[in-house]
Amino acid sequence: PRIVFSGIQPTGLPHLGNLLGALLNWVKLQRDAGPDDQLIYSIVGWHALTLPQDPQALSAARREMLAVLLAIGIDPERSIMFHQDENPHHTELAWVFNCITPMGKLRRMTTWKSRLATSRNTREDSEVDESLLNAGLFTYPVLQAADILAYKATHVPVGEDQQQHLELCRDLADIFNRAFKEDSPLFPLPQHVITPSRRILSLKDPSSKMSKSAPDVQSRILLTDTEAQIRAKIRAAVTDSIVGVTYDPVTRPGTANLLTILAACTDEDVVEVAKRYSDKGHGHLKNDVADAVEELIKEPRAEFERLRGEAGYLNAVARDGATKARALSEATMREVRGRIGLM
Ligand code: TYM
């Protein structure tokens, strides 16, 4: 049986990249799961703290993310859905892992390197402004490994940007298993479950991924966008001036991104989709992409609007999820404490 674990930060409403790259895959895994498979989905509040957050906005976003998961079809009867910050075992195991994580491995994380780069102010060779960095940013992937391994998860559905974090998770599982070897290794080495739309790009700058934090709101489509907003954003998406449509992610990233989005929405192969547009223009493609995105988002958007105000129900789902999550991770922590000698 498989144990599936994944997480998302409560730092705002999910965009199309989160939906196609991760969240809708969570729903698919739930649908295809065997009776013995376990599905565990977490809203990772501790991770959000690595960047400054407005407490009120964070609190609202945290509750809304649970409504999002329910709205897209995560079923609390089938999957465990919970707030990371309501299960103390995550931070407890993260400490154990911190103590076996070589600093060099963390320094090589591309997310850390890009934080370092932005804290260097302007010039490539200028001093790092350490006031812009915190220790949480550095050990962020260690907490992520603890999230996954607290449940001995075997499968982790995430987008491409999380691949390196997952490699570290496997490394830490392996380091722990070797250091505290008894009859059998304690942790599995979790696998990456990747969707075909592993990396959805910004609609405004196809050299970077679609992200919650990009300043231009036209660069992303949010779950709450209206049909008119979706159409306007897709129409304004940056493509290229080459006539006709072909799938060429290297030389035509903007056009390829639209094809990727379309293929993901209709659950088709992107190369097949591209063939249908070989003698058509960007206008035609954009129209169809907007139709497909609207069709995909329509129901979850309405369901989200219905659920977001249901505070009582959301609290009940969260409470129940945290109770189930803690029961599972308690078993792992008992074994961990036994192996490391803190019991
Ligand atoms: P987060 O919250 O940034 O993103 C949630 C998920 O969305 C995927 N994603 C994308 N996929 C395709 N194209 C994009 N443009 C795009 N942007 C985001 C991410 O890959 C992710 O799957 N560190 C994680 C959260 C986390 C986690 C975990 C995940 C914490 N602990 C344990 C898995 C297991 C993060 O910041 O995701």
Condensed to tens digits (0 to 9), the pLDDT of residues 158-208 reads: 988 999 999 999 999 999 999 999 889 999 999 999 887 779 999 999 999
Residue 130 pLDDT: 79
Residue nearest to atom 33 of ligand 1 (CA): 6
The 191-193 sheet, strands edge to edge: 80-83, 38-43, 3-8, 155-157, 191-193
- Tell me how far the alpha carbon of residue 160 lies from the centroid of ligand 1, in angstroms: 8
Confidence of residue 236 (pLDDT cuts 50, 70, 90): very high
| Residues 6 or more apart in contact with residue 143 via CB below 8 angstroms | 46, 47, 90, 91, 94
Rounded Cα distance between 171 and 66, Å, is 31
Beta strands in 179-246 (DSSP E): 191-193
Q: How far apart are CA 343 and CA 331, in angstroms?
A: 13
Which residues are paired to 209 by β-bridges?
201
266-303: pLDDT as tens digits = 999 999 999 999 999 999 999 999 999 999 999 999 99
- Burial pattern 247-256, b for ≥16 Cβ within 10 A else e, equals bebeebbbbb
Q: For residue 293, what are its two tokens?
A: 């995105």
Q: Which of 5, 11, 13, 18 to mutate to test the pocket of ligand 1 (most atoms within 8 A of CB)?
A: 18
The model's confidence at residue 323, banded by pLDDT at 50, 70 and 90, is very high
- Looking at residue 124, its pLDDT comes to 62
CA 79-85-90 angle, to 5 degrees, is: 80
Give, using CA atoms, the residue closest to atom 9 of ligand 1.
Answer: 18
pTM: 0.95
pLDDT given for residue 129 in this prediction: 81
Per-residue pLDDT tens over the stretch 101-148: 999 999 999 999 998 888 876 666 677 887 788 999 999 999 999 999
How far is the centre of ligand 1, averaged over its atoms, from the C-alpha of 43 (Å)? Answer: 11
Testing ligand 1's pocket by substitution, the residue of 43, 81, 158 carrying the most ligand atoms inside 8 A of its CB is 158
90 pLDDT band, cuts 50/70/90, is: very high
Q: What percent of the chain has pLDDT over 90?
A: 91
pLDDT for the residue numbered 316: 98
Residue 222: pLDDT over 90: yes
Q: What is the DSSP string of 137-192?
A: HHHHHHHHHHHHHTTT-SEEE--GGGHHHHHHHHHHHHHHHHHT-SSS-SS--PEE
Strand partners, 7: 42
Please give the pLDDT value at position 202. Answer: 98
pLDDT at residue number 94: 98
Distance 158 CA to ligand 1 centre (A): 6
Which protein residues touch ligand 1 with a CB less than 6 Å away?
5-9, 17-18, 21-22, 44, 47, 144, 147-148, 156, 158-159, 161-162, 165, 198-200, 209-210
